[in-house]
Structures are given as structure tokens and as C-alpha cells.
């Protein structure tokens, strides 16, 4: 952690920061300075960023938001809080950052307006601290390059495992996951309390899980994706990453422009919610993609029939951790479907080919239609 920071950048959440701001124990200017100090100290090693907003630009914006707060005006629950964006959201040049999607082909391109999502964040009082590294063109070059690598930003490195080991599988233990890699690592490394990524099939959830974060892929199509590099309109969605569920909720409310009733989110009750579990003995990554470590298979055993679940709750070994998670949800009132039966991906085809890539390739566009 950077020295002389008024809070711990590694553990403090956006909710924590908002409380400190309300209590006048900190300012947005101090918050920005703390995160920039952490970036300066560690990003050369982790390579989270393709660009960081100019310091003076950020501090002016933070001071302006502090002024609004002193006048009793706040724009929302995340007023004065920094966020980082995957470098496939267009940002206007007045913010001091370009948009590359990780490709040299777009370096130097200039935009006069922000993407719809970036503008929504700014209007809500968030501070865009930087644009994060990503798998080039979200992996659309299809050369099986390492997740989190781009020619512009280099290879993003996990703050937990360090550099990718030689001979690592595509999504192996030391691989940080992709394609929203820089966004996830930035939050884990204490460069920002919040981050935004985009997901086609796993590009938010995979790097977030590797960085020990909470994350969400909102329903496809519920956000205005104008000015966002999109692999395909059918699958892509912007989504939040953070250190706690409360932060994910707060950022989701900004993105979707709606509030969720807190009473329905009482941690002691999950009435009205439903969760489905796949059978982990069937639905797991192939060894060629991610080699299992010792003990992994024992933790992820086949799911027993519903009639046997309760009888197996007493922990006997690590293998029952999966069942224990199901039991906890059921105890809280959540409707659990276990296992969920879906067709194997090999059975999902279009014209005799696996379905995902033919659809993605046919409808891919460099940036989503601004008229949407």
C-alpha cells in the first residue's frame, strides 16, 4: 500500500469512502491522491492501465465535486468516488485519455464525446481515474493470446500470483483471466474502489473471480452501449466489479438508472430469490484450459438428488463445501434448483459448427450502433 494514505486502499470499499465523505473525515481530492500514489508505486509491475487521467485534470474534477458536497449537493450514492473503465469505453479527449480497445490501430484516435456509459458515470459524480488494459479487441483476433494481454498495455499480472508461469494453460492458476483483466486487477491492487468491464462470455466474471472480487453481468440490452467496443450485440454487457456486494449494488443502480429495494436484500432472508446450480462434476473447465490443483476435484463432487441434500449437510470433508453453500441459501429462504439441466455446449451448433463464434463473428461490429 502507498504510504501516507488516509485510508487503506487495499481494503476500503466505495461504501466506506462515501461514509467518510459524509462525515467530513476525508475529501474526494484526498481519495484521488491516495489511489494515484498506489498506481504510481505498483502499476509498472502489474500493468493494469493503458492510460491514467492527468493528475491535474482529476484533482480539479475532485475539488469541484467536493465543492458541490460542501454546498449540500450530491449527485448520488457514489458522488466523488473514483472508478476505472476498461479501455473499450470511449472517453472524450477533455478527460485526457484515448480509447484503444488494446490495439495499436486505435492509438491516437480522438473522441469529442463520451460513450453513453462513461457519461452516465460522470453525471452521477464519479471520477474516471483511468482506462484499463484488456485482451486486445476483447479477444476477437482469435489468436489464443494470453488473457489480459494487449500490444498497447502489455500483459496484466495478477497481484496474487505474480507473473504467468511458463507453460501455463489459457485460464490456469497464474493467468489473471480476460478480457476485462486490467479492471479487475486494478480494484484488487488498490488502484480504485470500483471498476467497469464488459462481458461476452466470462470477461467480467472470470477476471473478477481471479482477483477475489464481487462482479455482475447485467442483462444484455438493458444499457445504452453507444460508444462501447462490442464483440456482439447478442452477448455483450457492461458490468461492475468491486470488493463487496454493496458496492456492486450501488454501481449497478447508477448503470441501470434505478433503485433496488433494500428490504428485499436483507442478508437474513432471501425470500423471493432463486438460484440455480450446475453439476460441477460435469460443468468444469477442461484440463487443457485450466489444470485442477490438488483437492479441487474433492471439493467439486457430483451433486446428489434433492432428497439427499439435507442428509449430507454435516461436513465430513472438503467435498461437502458445495452442498453447504446450497443449504445456507435454502435456510435463508432462497429457492434452489440443483442441478440445473442444460444441453452440453457441444450440442449447441449452427450449420454444424459450435454456436457461439459463428453468431459472434457474423454480428460483430467495432463499436455499438450509437443510434441504439
List C-alpha distances in Å: 304 to 273, 279, 308, 322, 337. 22, 9, 6, 11, 12
Residue 15: all three cell numbers together: 461504501
Residue 181: all three cell numbers together: 483483466
28 is catalytic: no
Burial of residue 121, with CB atoms counted within 10 A of its CB: 0-12 exposed, 13-18 middle, 19 or more buried = buried
237 is catalytic: no
Bridge partners of residue 130, in order along the sequence: 52, 84
Single out the residue of 236, 192, 184 nearest to residue 360, CA to CA.
236
203 is catalytic: yes
Active-site residue (options: 34, 115, 150, 179): 179
Bridge partners of residue 230, in order along the sequence: 365
Active-site residue (options: 86, 131, 217, 243): 86
What is the rounded CA–CA span in Å between residue 87 and residue 93? 13
The helix/strand/coil state of 241 is: strand
Consecutive H or E run containing 67 = helix 55-70
Distance, first Cα to last Cα, the chain: 42
Active-site residue (options: 183, 192, 203, 230): 203
**Which residues carry out catalysis?**
86, 179, 203
Amino acid at each position: 500500500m502507498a504510504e501516507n494514505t488516509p485510508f487503506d486502499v487495499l481494503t476500503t470499499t466505495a461504501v466506506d469512502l462515501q461514509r467518510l465523505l459524509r462525515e467530513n473525515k476525508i475529501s474526494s481530492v484526498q481519495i484521488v491522491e491516495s489511489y494515484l500514489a498506489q498506481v504510481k508505486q505498483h502499476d509498472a509491475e502489474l500493468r493494469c492501465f493503458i492510460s491514467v487521467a492527468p493528475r491535474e485534470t482529476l484533482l480539479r474534477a475532485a475539488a469541484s465535486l467536493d465543492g458541490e458536497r460542501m454546498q449540500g449537493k450530491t449527485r448520488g450514492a457514489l458522488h466523488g468516488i473514483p472508478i476505472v473503465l476498461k479501455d473499450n469505453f470511449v472517453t472524450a479527449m477533455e478527460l485526457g485519455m484515448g480509447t484503444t480497445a488494446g490495439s495499436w490501430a486505435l492509438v491516437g484516435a480522438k473522441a469529442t464525446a463520451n460513450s453513453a456509459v462513461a457519461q452516465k458515470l460522470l453525471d452521477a459524480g464519479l471520477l474516471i481515474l483511468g482506462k484499463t488494459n484488456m485482451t486486445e479487441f476483447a479477444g476477437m483476433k482469435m489468436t489464443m493470446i494470453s488473457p489480459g494481454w494487449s500490444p498497447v498495455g502489455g500483459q496484466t499480472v495478477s497481484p496474487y500470483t505474480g507473473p504467468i508461469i511458463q507453460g501455463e494453460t489459457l485460464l490456469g492458476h497464474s493467468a489473471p483471466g480476460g478480457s476485462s483483466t486490467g479492471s479487475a486487477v486494478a480494484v484488487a491492487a488498490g488502484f480504485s474502489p470500483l471498476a467497469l468491464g464488459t462481458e461476452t462470455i466470462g470477461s467480467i466474471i472470470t477476471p473478477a473471480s481471479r482477483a477475489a472480487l464481487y462482479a455482475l453481468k447485467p442483462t444484455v440490452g438493458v444499457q445504452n452501449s453507444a460508444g462501447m467496443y462490442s464483440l456482439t450485440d447478442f452477448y455483450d454487457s457492461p458490468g461492475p466489479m468491486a470488493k463487496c456486494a454493496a458496492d456492486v449494488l450501488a454501481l449497478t443502480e447508477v448503470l441501470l438508472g434505478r433503485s433496488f429495494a433494500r428490504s428485499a436484500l436483507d442478508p437474513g432472508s432471501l425470500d423471493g430469490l432463486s438460484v440455480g446450480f450446475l453439476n460441477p462434476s460435469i460443468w468444469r473447465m477442461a484440463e487443457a484450459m485450466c489444470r485442477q490443483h490438488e483437492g479441487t476435484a474433492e471439493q467439486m463432487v457430483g451433486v446428489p438428488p434433492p432428497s439427499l441434500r439435507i442428509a449430507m449437510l454435516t461436513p465430513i470433508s472438503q467435498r461437502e463445501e458445495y452442498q453447504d453453500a446450497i443449504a445456507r441459501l435454502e435456510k435463508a429462504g432462497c429457492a434452489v434448483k440443483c442441478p440445473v439441466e442444460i444441453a452440453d455446449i457441444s450440442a449447441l451448433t449452427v450449420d454444424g459448427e459450435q454456436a457461439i463464434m459463428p453468431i459472434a463473428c457474423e454480428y460483430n461490429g467495432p463499436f455499438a450502433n450509437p443510434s441504439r
